[in-house]
A and B are shown apart, each in its own frame.
Chain A
Amino acid sequence: MIFQTALQSLLDGAMLGAIYALITLGLALVFGVMNVVNFAHGDFVMVSMYATFWVATLLAWDALATPLITFPLLFLIGIIIYYTIIRRTLRHSYVIQIAATVGLQYFLRASAQVLFQAQPKALQSSVVQGSFLVGNITVLNSRLLAAVISLVVIVLVSIFLSKTWPGRAIRAASDDLDVSSLMGVNYQRTYALSFGLGTALTAIAGGLLMTFQQVSPVMGVSFGLLSYVVLAFAGLGSTIGLLLSGVIIGSAETLTMAFWDPRARLLVIYLIFIVVLWVRPRGIFGRK
């Protein structure tokens, strides 16, 4: 019985972790490439969830189809924010970046409150419903689909980063900005692209989250910290590491909820975070 609960929690955690990894991939593009500390990343997830809600109710679409609109929308928002705010903080220390992005965080939260009010919003359940049994373990179709989509997107992004010219430019800028500039990489455009892409990736994550979760203006903070936890665990520069870290953090979360106390979820995650920082400041799977 205990074994079955553990297995069930591990599976749920792994499926949740895939979405965490997707969210963190967006953060890694910003933090790893541009070395910009973005405290508003979690709030982009919140904005994406509201965008999903808005598109889904307005057009009567399924949440899973909304990234067709929200992905370009969030990309555009990301580009605008890069050129208005982030670009001006590049020369300054991380402290100013944090101050500016915390301001941005307040702004995004306030916008969500003005547009959608403080009450949580949820969508009606997605077309993908039901579950199936593997042995004694229940697999929810919606969660499984969310995990698979996250996985596919992560793979697509790593192919983009390794095989296409703009992707290579992003990696080059992340390795050595000066040399890559000499090789003809326009760093302003590269940075704008990676910030836009990092923001747009939250649109997909937001769409997936909305299939089983509700959204409220204040939930961005926890996603923000969570994505930094996964990033600290993974270290920079490894996509597989990112995925594994997401899965480990997600499983730690579900196992805590199953075996100890649902409230202790964050406690365990943050304790893991602090211990990892002490023991392996470059992350468990990090290269840089």
Chain B
Amino acid sequence: MKLKNLFSARNILILVLLAIATVIPIVIRDDNYATLLATNVLLYAVLATAWNIIGGMGGQLDLSAGAYLGIGAFTSGTLVLRWNVTPWAGMILGGILAMGLALVVGIPLFRFKIREVWFALSSAALVEVLRVAFTMWEEVGGPTERLLPYYEWSFYHLRFNTYMPFYYILLVMLLIALLVNYWVRRTKLGYSLLALSEDEDAAEVLGVDARGSKIKALLIYAFMAGVVGGVDVCIKGNLSPKTFNGVQSTEVAILGIVGGMGITFGPMLGAILLVSARELLRARLGGGLEGLYMGVYATVLILVALFSPRGIAALLQDAYAKIQARFQRKNNYERPADTPGI
């Protein structure tokens, strides 16, 4: 029985997908640009999966991925530039500082019960505030970008002459993010968050600790985004206040929504499908009319939002359930004894 569960269709599918994801950079290793695109897709996938905890499960439409990402990037980047500290340590510290920011922002936001649109807008404003603040803070940020030292191949400095190592680092992070999602979903926190996203007032009446759950979810998300920021700065090779990117922050949330809010693999699916589509469109149409690829991408986003509001993952889940139901019906015909009354 145990063994059968281990080799269920779902687990085999996961293994196959993981194998494909592992092989991709080896297949395209000669094309550094393609590797960068694949790395970029993974970056969005990690961010969207982390976002799923606060945004998907908790239903709090956070638009500040760029704020936590930027804090992580600046922690890691500044440490390596000033004191030659390895980004591996910078990443963790960046994640912790991002959690600190999440506490500073989250406690008053949730204390004053700022919800829905206003929560979304104030989190979007946070990204802009930090971008301006870091542009003005000349010692660390400043308007010009700071270049990270160049190394052919250095694990200590996390600098390589190819994007392939970053791909694998982000792949591991994606797996961790998925596991965290999977784990949170099955704990009290996950159930509280799901209840909050359905109806906050009703959940609170029934004894769900709204503030505590939301803060915890925000902290987990901020930590992951901060760590990703530490990698992001090494991928780009420069440190700039533009890392606090409002457009990117909004996009992370949109990918989560059209991927499937609250479904563990939904935001990842949304990010992989849509960011790949966007980059392919850019490669195909980018040479001709500037902005054309964006128009096609926007149309796809609108269509998914309008016609599959529960997300791409929910569509797949429905299809899977239908197939399963068909198989079960077949089994029932083979065992007429199980269906009394016919």
A78 to chain B, nearest CB (A): 16
- 9 smallest CB-CB distances across A and B, nearest first, come from A113-B291, A106-B298, A103-B301, A110-B294, A107-B298, A110-B295, A103-B302, A270-B125, A99-B305
Within 8 A of B (CB), among A185-210: none
Whether B121 is near chain A, meaning CB under 8 Å from some CB there, is yes
From A107, which residue of chain B is reached at the shortest CB distance? B298
Chain A to chain B contacts (Cβ below 8 Å), 11 pairs: A39-B250, A98-B254, A102-B254, A103-B299, A103-B302, A109-B291, A117-B290, A225-B128, A267-B132, A270-B129, A273-B121
Within 8 A of B (CB), among A7-45: 37, 39
Q: How many residues of A contact B (CB 8 A)?
A: 45
From A271, which residue of chain B is reached at the shortest CB distance? B129
Whether B309 is near chain A, meaning CB under 8 Å from some CB there, is yes
Whether B12 is near chain A, meaning CB under 8 Å from some CB there, is no
User: A92 contacts which of B121, B290, B309 (Cβ < 8 Å)?
Assistant: B309
Residue contact B113 to A106, C-beta cutoff 8 Å? no
Residue contact A103 to B135, C-beta cutoff 8 Å? no
Assuming the A-B contacts A114-B290, A114-B295, are A103 and B125 also in contact, with contact meaning beta carbons closer than 8 angstroms in the complex? Answer: no
From A104, which residue of chain B is reached at the shortest CB distance? B302
Interface size class of B (residues with CB under 8 A): 35 or more
Whether A139 is near chain B, meaning CB under 8 Å from some CB there, is no
Whether A89 is near chain B, meaning CB under 8 Å from some CB there, is yes
Residue contact A263 to B135, C-beta cutoff 8 Å? yes
Whether A112 is near chain B, meaning CB under 8 Å from some CB there, is yes
Whether B80 is near chain A, meaning CB under 8 Å from some CB there, is no
List A contacts of B135 (CB < 8 A). Answer: 263
> Which A residues fall within an 8 A CB radius of B?
37, 39, 85, 88-89, 92, 94-96, 98-100, 102-107, 109-114, 117-118, 217, 221, 225, 228-229, 232, 261, 263-264, 266-267, 270-271, 273-274, 277-279, 281
Besides A221-B247, A273-B121, 11 other A-B contacts (C-beta < 8 A): A89-B305, A98-B254, A103-B299, A105-B298, A107-B299, A110-B292, A113-B291, A267-B136, A271-B129, A277-B112, A281-B118
Whether B160 is near chain A, meaning CB under 8 Å from some CB there, is no
Whether B117 is near chain A, meaning CB under 8 Å from some CB there, is yes
Residue contact B61 to A98, C-beta cutoff 8 Å? yes
Interface SS of chain A: helix
User: A232 contacts which of B59, B118, B246 (Cβ < 8 Å)?
Assistant: B118
From B135, which residue of chain A is reached at the shortest CB distance? A263
Residue contact A114 to B118, C-beta cutoff 8 Å? no
Interface SS of chain B: helix
Q: What is the CA–CA distance of A110 and B108 in the complex, to the nearest angstrom?
A: 37
List A contacts of B113 (CB < 8 A). Answer: 281
Whether B206 is near chain A, meaning CB under 8 Å from some CB there, is no
Residue contact A114 to B125, C-beta cutoff 8 Å? no
Residue contact B112 to A281, C-beta cutoff 8 Å? yes
> Which B residues fall within an 8 A CB radius of A?
59, 61, 108-109, 112-114, 116-118, 120-122, 124-126, 128-129, 132-133, 135-136, 246-247, 250, 253-254, 257-258, 261, 289-295, 297-299, 301-302, 305-306, 309
List B contacts of A277 (CB < 8 A). Answer: 112, 114, 118, 122
User: B122 contacts which of A107, A118, A274 (Cβ < 8 Å)?
Assistant: A274
Residue contact A266 to B132, C-beta cutoff 8 Å? yes
B145 to chain A, nearest CB (A): 16
From B125, which residue of chain A is reached at the shortest CB distance? A270
User: A266 contacts which of B129, B290, B297, B302 (Cβ < 8 Å)?
Assistant: B129
List B contacts of A271 (CB < 8 A). Answer: 129
Residue contact B133 to A267, C-beta cutoff 8 Å? yes
Residue contact B305 to A100, C-beta cutoff 8 Å? yes
List A contacts of B301 (CB < 8 A). Answer: 99-100, 102-103, 106
User: B298 contacts which of A104, A118, A263, A278 (Cβ < 8 Å)?
Assistant: A104
A210 to chain B, nearest CB (A): 21
